[in-house]
Amino acid sequence: MSLKEFRELSTSDITKQLEETHQELFNLRFRVATKQLVNHRELRRVKKKIARLNTLLRERELDIR
């Protein structure tokens, strides 16, 4: 999902997406620990997605746009 698509979501949808992404990060970390993850770039992608979602929530909290 691009940043533009995230901006179109409601705050509750962004929060839900953030929870799902945190769960995905947990699962990826578990797979890294058990040496089952082939593509380590997935960790970086998920972390950036979490940062984007947190930034959007903060922007809405401060009402910046």
Check if the beta carbon of residue 50 is closer than 8 Å to that of residue 22: yes
The CATH number linked to 46 is 1.10.287
pLDDT of residue 48: 96
pLDDT at 65: 60
Torsion angle of the four alpha carbons 10, 21, 5, 11, in this order, in degrees rounded to the nearest 10: 10
- Each residue's pLDDT tens digit in the chain (65 positions)? 778 888 888 999 999 999 999 999 999 999 999 999 899 999 999 999 999 999 999 999 998 76
The residue range of the domain holding 46 is 3-62
The Cβ of residue 19 has, within 10 Å, a number of other Cβ atoms equal to 11
Q: What is the pTM of this model?
A: 0.87
Number of domains into which the chain is organized:
1
Contact by Cβ (8 Å): 14, 53 = yes
Continuous segment of H or E residues that includes residue 30: helix 11-33
